[in-house]
Structure 1
Amino acid sequence: MKELTEYILQFGNLNKQQIDLIERKTTVLELKKGEYFSEAGKIPQQVGIIVEGILRVCYYNNKGEEITRYFIDENHLVVDIKNFEANTESAEYVQAITDCKLFVFSKQAWEELLNTIVGWDAIVNKIIKKALIIKLERRSPLIEQDATARYLAFLKKYPKLTNRIPLSYLASYLGITQSTLSRVRKNLN
C-alpha cells in the first residue's frame, strides 16, 4: 500500500487516520493479459490506480473494427469517470495488455471516502484533472501526419511503452494497418 499512499500524497496532505481509512477501503486487483478492467455495455463500478502493467482503452467502430484510443501505464488513474459518476453504461473497454496490478476502490468505497475525509474531493479533483490531461495527450496523433511521423512521435513521447505493447494495438492507436507499421519500422532500421 506504500505505492498508493505515495501516489495520493502527490495531490494533497492527509493525516495517518485518513491514510489508514483509504488503505482499508482499497483492494488489490490483479489482471492477466487480455482481461478487462471494465467493459462496454456495463456500468463502471470501480476506480483504479495502476501499480504494474499497461491497460488500453478501446472500442469497436461501426464496421466492427477494434480501435485503440490510448494506453494507461503505471502510476496513473484508470476510470471511465463520466459513466462512473453518472451510473451509465460505458461505450469502451479497458483491457490489460500486460499482466497488471492495480489498487482499486469500489464505487461504494469511493463515495464513502468522499463523504468521510475532509479534502478528499479536492485530492480526487486533482487526480482526475491530471488523468484527463494525460488522456488528451495520449490520444492518437493527428491524422494529417503520415504513418512514419505518427510512429516517430509515439516513440519520442512514449519510449517506455513501445516494447511492451503488441504491434496490432500500436497500429490501431496510430490509425494505420499492422503491415504499414511493419513497413515503417523496417524502413527506419
Structure 2
Amino acid sequence: MEALINYLLQFGDLNEQQIELIKERVSVIALRKDEYFSEAGKIPRQVGFIVEGVMRGCYYTNKGEEITRCFINENSIVVDYFNFEASTAASEYIQASTPCKLIVFSKQDWDELSHTIVGWDNIKHKMVQQCLYRKSRTGPVISQDATTRYLQFMENYPSLTNRVPLAYIASYLGVTQQSLSRIRKSIR
C-alpha cells in the first residue's frame, strides 16, 4: 500500500485523512500469468496499480495475429483509461505477462474519490498524462531495423528481457520469434 501512496504523492498533496480514505477504497488482487485485467469487447471496470509483475496491452489483427502494443511494470497504473472513463467497450486486452499483484480501484470508488478529495481530479489527470507520455515514447519505430528496435526495447525496458515470454517481445517489436532469437545471438 505504501508504494501506491508514494506514487500518488508524486502528483499532488494528500493529507492523512485523504490517504486513509484512499486505502479504504482499494482492494488487492492477484492475477496469474496470461490472465486478463481488461478484455476487448467488455467495459473496463477498474484502475490498477502494479505492485508486482508485468502486464501488457495487446490486440488481435483481423487475421487473428496477436500484437503486443505496450508493457507496464511495477509502480505504474494500468487501465484502458478512455474506455474506463466513458464506460465503453475496450478494443484491446490488458493481460498479465507474469504473475501480478495489483491494488485496484473500482469505477465507483475511483469516481467517489473525485467527489470527496479536493484535488483528486488533478492527481488523476497528471497520472494519466504521465502514462500516455510514457506509452508514446516507448513504442517501437517500425521504420527502424529490427536490431535497433530490440536495442531500444532493452533500453526502455531493461528489466523485462528475462521476465516476459520472448513471443510477447517479438510481437511488440513486429518480428518473428526466430528473428528475435537471431538478433539476440548477434548482439551478445
CA RMSD of aligned residues (A): 0.8
> Which residue is 2:3 aligned to?
3
Alignment of structure 1 residues 148-159 onto 2, 5 Å: 148-159=147-158
Q: Distance in 2 between matches of 1:157 and 1:121?
A: 29
Consecutive unaligned residues in structure 2, runs of 5 or more = none
> Which residue is 2:170 aligned to?
171
How many residue pairs get aligned? The number is 188
**Which amino acid in 2 is paired with 1:60?**
Y
TM-score normalised by structure 2 residue count: 0.98
Q: Distance in 2 between matches of 1:81 and 1:156?
A: 26
**Which amino acid in 2 is paired with 1:149?**
T
> Which residue is 2:77 aligned to?
77
Is 1:86 the counterpart of 2:86 in the alignment?
Answer: yes
Alignment of structure 1 residues 3-42 onto 2, 5 Å: 3-42=3-42
Decide whether the 8 Å contact of 1:71 with 1:138 is kept in 2.
Answer: no
> Which residue is 2:47 aligned to?
47
Q: Distance in 2 between matches of 1:110 and 1:121?
A: 10
> Which residue is 1:145 aligned to?
144
Consecutive unaligned residues in structure 1, runs of 5 or more = none
Aligned residues with identical type, % of pairs = 61
After the TM superposition, which parts of structure 1 deviate over 6 Å for at least 4 consecutive aligned residues? none
> Which residue is 2:124 aligned to?
124
Per-residue CA deviations over 1:142-181 (Å, capped at 9, x if unaligned) read 1111111111111122211111111000000000011110
CA shift at 1:185, angstroms? 1.1
Q: Distance in 1 between matches of 2:39 and 2:30?
A: 16
Is 1:181 the counterpart of 2:180 in the alignment?
Answer: yes
TM-score normalised by structure 1 residue count: 0.97
